[in-house]
Amino acid sequence: MTAVACAFASALLFFLRDAWWPLAWIAPVPLLWLTYSHYPFRAVVVATSGAVVLALSAVYAQYIAAGGAQVVPPAPIIVLMMLSMVLAYTVCLGVARLARRRLSPAWTLFAYPVLWCRISSDRTHPISSVGYHLIS
CB 118 within 8 A of CB 57: no
| pLDDT at position 136 | 47
The residue that leads in pLDDT, 77 or 124, is: 77
CA distance 132 to 61: 36
* Mean residue pLDDT across the chain: 81
| pLDDT at position 9 | 92
CA distance 2 to 112: 21
Total structural domains within the chain: 1
Residue 127 has pLDDT above 70, yes or no: no
Q: Determine the straight-line distance between the first and last CA of the chain, rounded to whole angstroms.
A: 45
CB 44 within 8 A of CB 7: no
CB 122 within 8 A of CB 93: no
Structural domain that includes position 115: 2-135
